[in-house]
Amino acid sequence: KGPIHNRKKPLLFYFNIMKCASPMVLLEFQCPTTQICVEKCPDRFMTLIKAHSNKNDFDYYKNYCDQSSVPDILRFRLCPAMLTPSTPFTRRCFPALGQKGGVIVVGNNSKFDDGSGTMKDAKDLVAGVKNATVAIEARQTMMKIFEDYTHSWYWILIGLVIATLTSLLFIILLRFLAGIMVWVMIALVIVVIGYGIFHCYMEYAALKEQPGANVTLQQLGFQTDLAVYLQIQQTWLAFMIILVIVEVIIILLLIFLRKRLLIAIALIKEASRAIGHVMCSLFYPLFTFLLLAIVIAYWAVTAVFLSTSNEPIYKVFNDTPCEFSREVCNPGNYSTSAMKAQCPDTQCLFAFYGGETVYHKYLIGLQFYNVFLFFWCANFVTALGQMTLAGAFASYYWAFVKPDDMPAFPVFSALGRSLRYHTGTLAFGSLILSIIQIIRVLLEYLDHKLKGLYAVAQNKFAKFLLCCLKCCFWCLEKFIKFLNRNAYIMVAIYGKNFCTSARDAFFLLMRNMIRVAVLDKVTDFLLFLGKLLIVGLVGVFAFFFFSGRVKAFENTAPNLHYYWVPILTVVIGSYLIAHGFFSVYSMCVDTLFLCFCEDLERNDGSAARPYYMSPTLHEVLWKNKADGDDLRLKRQQTEEDRSL
């Protein structure tokens, strides 16, 4: 589609393809040269100066000029300075480059006239053609990916529903068969990764007989069609090595942590009992997801409004020395302006979006402020979810007779308490974390800007200092997240302010450092294996379906440009879904663990100060079985006394 006079002109022609060699082309996808639609690509060498003296040549030359009268064409330079033999590619005219005797040629010539009488080497065209081609291929790849989504979105949703049902089924089975399910999960993870190793080896062996499959990744270079990488041996060898390393690490961890695994399994059993009495907690991540979606939408809309508030800026582009080079110009009257009169070889072309007002000068600051608000709101939503779940599970732990002493709706009660009494605590904890995160963003931005400065890029001390700062703030962010999580649990238990709760949680964990390092983290490892299993099962199913490897689905699977697009989407979505369900388990384990440590310090197991922990949890996390039996007898005696 386009103007009527372009209806029969399907090809795009660049006035000066060498201007596409600018690195900005790769960032802005905009080549700083005039581009017009033509019926066919030029097939000969010609310059405007020579063509103007010959009527037949000039009639041919006008096919590649802007639509205007001959005097205007000559006066305002609406024609390219030269033509070179070109061939159509992706509906664009590119110089017909080739090799002759090891020398790059265009139209069988190693040199060409650039229109000013200067002879240029054909190799000078290569950079411009390469940049323009990369930009075109990137656009085409994005269009193909979009088409793949339009053809496969229905099946992607089905895959995500399967991941949701699988996660929910896994959680339900953990409620009743925690020990068996954990061991089955461990075995299946090893089997799934083992099958991945076997599949990679079979693909690697099959490609041995294929010509050209022994090309290295370095020789292949960057390709927009990722399916090309699956046709070489080195890709499958790399996949196989990675999976072997992961398999060995998991097996070694299982061997060295086998005794701790039994304790962690018992802790998961206790968490399963707690979740069994608070089943609605499994669906709380949906509420968190909804709130995060609102926060992300608000941030994205604000960022788009800020970005699109810029105005198009046009600047002077020149081939010869000019005092107005890169100055702002107006394309509407540039042909009659003083700039054009003094520098007739210049053009007024689009440069970027921006502005010269105070608002435009501080626009980057507004974007950073918007990012900071996004971090703050997102961290607040996450903190609200953590405190709500902690309050629900704490009400289970501190109920002496479970579940009779628990509130009727523990999740809603905890959510109400968090919003009514602890909004300031959540906001303050989120603020601290957001400040650290925005500092990390500023460091990344500073690093990106300084890389463009040669003096700074070569300064090893500056690079070392920046690297240390980035590393330190990364560690600080992880520590603050850990501290905030446990502080919210203490707030849910006692209702104190953030600083007091953070201090109490920190020293309580320090007094139980060994238990934290061994039990809590081993449990996190087992839950991670559960997420890995669900992602692996759904990912394998998606691979066989979308790749058409199974004949039963060969006619059902959609015809795609890149079958890895829906597979990758399903895998990432499955991980997020599994993470949402298992995050409830993780929060339950952390809450029960912290409550257990607090219970040990507050109570001594006597009739006056009985433990609130279950006898099973007492056996697992503290003393031997005999002490657990004593605790069970004391618990029964205390309950009988209370009933009387």
Q: Do 133 and 97 contact (CB within 8 A), yes or no?
A: no
Euclidean distance between CA atoms 369 and 307, whole angstroms: 13
Cis peptide bond prior to 566, omega within 30° of 0: no
Q: Do 116 and 16 contact (CB within 8 A), yes or no?
A: no
pLDDT of residue 256 exceeding 60? yes
pLDDT of residue 590 exceeding 80? yes
Tell me, what's the pLDDT at 27?
47
Coil, strand, or helix at residue 584? helix
Q: Do 392 and 417 contact (CB within 8 A), yes or no?
A: no
Instruction: State the first-to-last Cα distance of the chain, in angstroms, to the nearest integer.
Output: 88
CA 128 from centre of chain: 31
**What tens digit of pLDDT does each residue of 430-441 get?**
999 999 999 998
* Token representation of residue 160: 């995500």
Euclidean distance between CA atoms 529 and 79, whole angstroms: 65
pLDDT-above-70 percentage for the chain: 83
Among 576, 569, 550, CA closest to 150: 569
**418-to-339, 374, 493, 567, 633 alpha-carbon distances in Å:** 65, 21, 11, 39, 37
Selected residue with higher pLDDT from 616 and 54: 54
Tell me, what's the pLDDT at 626?
43
Selected residue with higher pLDDT from 387 and 541: 387
Selected residue with higher pLDDT from 50 and 622: 50
- The arithmetic mean of pLDDT across residues 55-83, rounded, is 72
pLDDT of residue 214 exceeding 80? no
Tell me, what's the pLDDT at 313?
77
Alpha-carbon torsion, ordered 492, 495, 498, 504, to 10 deg = -80
* Token representation of residue 152: 């496969």
pLDDT of residue 260 exceeding 60? yes
* Token representation of residue 358: 């105070």
Selected residue with higher pLDDT from 341 and 140: 341
Tell me, what's the pLDDT at 124?
73
What is the number of alpha carbons within 13 Å of residue 297 lying toward its C-beta? 6
Tell me, what's the pLDDT at 457?
54
Coil, strand, or helix at residue 100? strand
Q: From the CB of residue 504, how many other CB atoms can be counted at a distance below 10 Å?
A: 19
Mention every residue, 6+ apart, whose C-beta is less than 8 A from residue 125.
17, 18, 84, 95, 97, 106
Tell me, what's the pLDDT at 419?
92
Mention every residue, 6+ apart, whose C-beta is less than 8 A from residue 221.
none
Band of pLDDT at residue 30, cut at 50, 70 and 90: low
pLDDT of residue 638 exceeding 60? no
Euclidean distance between CA atoms 55 and 59, whole angstroms: 6
Residue with tokens 């386009």: 2
pLDDT of residue 125 exceeding 80? no
Band of pLDDT at residue 637, cut at 50, 70 and 90: low
Residue 404 class from Cβ within 10 Å (0-12 exposed, 13-18 middle, 19+ buried)?
A: exposed
Among 146, 38, 171, CA closest to 93: 38
* Token representation of residue 125: 């065209």
Among 393, 554, 581, 567, CA closest to 488: 393
| Sign of the CA dihedral running 291, 293, 294, 300 | positive
Tell me, what's the pLDDT at 366?
86
Tell me, what's the pLDDT at 625?
42
The answer to whether the predicted template modeling score (pTM) of the entire model surpasses 0.75 is no
Selected residue with higher pLDDT from 458 and 577: 577
Mention every residue, 6+ apart, whose C-beta is less than 8 A from residue 233.
204, 207, 208, 213, 214
| Sign of the CA dihedral running 487, 492, 497, 500 | negative
**What tens digit of pLDDT does each residue of 482-521 get?**
999 999 999 999 999 999 999 999 999 888 877 776 676 7
Euclidean distance between CA atoms 556 and 152, whole angstroms: 11
- The arithmetic mean of pLDDT across residues 217-228, rounded, is 63
Alpha-carbon torsion, ordered 66, 69, 75, 80, to 10 deg = 30
Tell me, what's the pLDDT at 138?
67
**What tens digit of pLDDT does each residue of 387-435 get?**
999 999 999 888 887 777 788 889 999 999 999 999 999 999 999 999 9
- Name the maximum alpha-carbon separation found in the chain: 118
pLDDT of residue 13 exceeding 80? yes
- The arithmetic mean of pLDDT across residues 36-47, rounded, is 86
Lowest mean pLDDT of 42-56, 66-80, 97-111, 196-210, name the range: 66-80
- The arithmetic mean of pLDDT across residues 280-284, rounded, is 85
**132-to-42, 99, 240, 487, 531 alpha-carbon distances in Å:** 18, 20, 36, 54, 43
pLDDT-above-90 percentage for the chain: 17
**124-to-112, 119, 121, 173, 613 alpha-carbon distances in Å:** 10, 11, 6, 67, 78
Residue type, 543: F
Euclidean distance between CA atoms 487 and 505, whole angstroms: 6
- The arithmetic mean of pLDDT across residues 321-337, rounded, is 79
Average pLDDT, the chain: 80
Residue type, 35: Q
Q: Do 599 and 611 contact (CB within 8 A), yes or no?
A: yes
Euclidean distance between CA atoms 329 and 439, whole angstroms: 38
Band of pLDDT at residue 458, cut at 50, 70 and 90: low
Tell me, what's the pLDDT at 237?
87
DSSP H or E run through 148: helix 126-206
Q: Indicate the angle between helix axes 521-546 and 258-277, nearest 10 degrees.
A: 80
**What tens digit of pLDDT does each residue of 245-254 get?**
989 988 888 8
Strand-pairing partners, residue 430, are none
- The arithmetic mean of pLDDT across residues 585-605, rounded, is 85
